[in-house]
């Protein structure tokens, strides 16, 4: 029976402090994102029509933010696929372990900021879609999904 793993991908609305000088958004680990931030990277100068991503991660959690401009994140849990459009810097898309992602349709001058729960490790990547699908459908992330669900519930409770 297919699980609804894709529902673990959440849009997070970060705080915005607005005054006459403009807007300010801040992000604290384990508070606004459900993990410790161990790495930050960003994609920029992406040529029109280019696709980034095209992989899943074994353990890595990420939050993707359109710091400038816009792009779409296609997420796929091995059962379902959906597209999330990001175009404001106070929204982030949380992606737990075990989700295939592709970033497409970058507008000109867009910047994709990524907050990540682990340092870069090529061994954490799954770059073959069929391998990913088999792992997802075989229950590889069942335990991790339970932990993610608990963390997201806690985050929601504490944000209130
Ligand atoms: P990759 O993760 O495949 O990029 P994307 O998912 O955005 O399309 O990484 C591209 C290259 O950059 C790859 O050779 C590894 C390197 N890289 C690092 O060295 N450190 C990092 O933190 C990241 C994200 C990539």
DSSP state of 51: -
Residue found under tokens 């404001």: 88
d(CA 63, CA 138) in angstroms, rounded, equals 25
Q: According to the model, what pLDDT value does residue 2 have?
A: 56
For 156, the 3-state DSSP assignment is helix
DSSP letters spanning 105-153? -PPTT-EEEEEESS---GGGEE--HHHHHHHHHTTTTHHHHHHHHHHHH
Q: According to the model, what pLDDT value does residue 3 have?
A: 72
Q: According to the model, what pLDDT value does residue 159 have?
A: 62
Q: How far is CA 147 from the centre of its chain?
A: 16
Rg (CA), the chain: 16
Q: According to the model, what pLDDT value does residue 154 have?
A: 84
With a cut of 70, which residues of the chain have pLDDT below it? 1-2, 158-160
- For the question of residue 55 being annotated catalytic, the response is yes
Q: According to the model, what pLDDT value does residue 88 have?
A: 98
pLDDT tens figures, 88-133 = 999 999 999 999 999 999 999 999 999 999 999 999 999 999 999 9
Count of CB atoms situated within 10 Å of the CB of 86: 21
CA of 64 to the centre of ligand 1 (A): 14
d(CA 106, CA 47) in angstroms, rounded, equals 8
Q: Is the CB of 52 under 6 A from ligand 1?
A: yes
Quote the pTM value.
Answer: 0.96
Q: Is the CB of 115 under 6 A from ligand 1?
A: no
Phi and psi torsions of 121, nearest 5°? -150, 110
Question: Best of 37, 95, 99, 120 to mutate for ligand 1, by most ligand atoms within 8 A of CB?
Answer: 120
């Amino acid at each position: 029976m297919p699980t609804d793993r894709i529902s673990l991908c959440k849009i997070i609305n970060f705080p915005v402090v607005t005054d006459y000088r403009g807007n300010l958004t801040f992000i604290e680990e384990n508070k606004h994102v459900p993990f410790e931030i161990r790495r930050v990277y960003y994609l920029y100068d992406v040529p029109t029509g280019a696709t980034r991503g095209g992989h899943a991660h074994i353990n890595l959690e990420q939050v993707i933010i359109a710091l400038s401009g816009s792009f779409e994140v296609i997420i796929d849990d091995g059962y379902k696929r959906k597209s999330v459009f990001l175009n404001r810097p106070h929204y982030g898309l949380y992606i737990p372990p075990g989700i295939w992602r592709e970033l497409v349709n970058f507008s000109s001058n867009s910047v994709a900021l990524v907050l990540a729960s682990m340092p870069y490790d090529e061994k954490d990547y799954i770059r073959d879609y069929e391998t990913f699908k088999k792992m997802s459908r075989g229950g590889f992330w069942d335990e991790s999904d339970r932990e993610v669900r608990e963390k997201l519930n806690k985050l929601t409770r504490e944000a209130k």
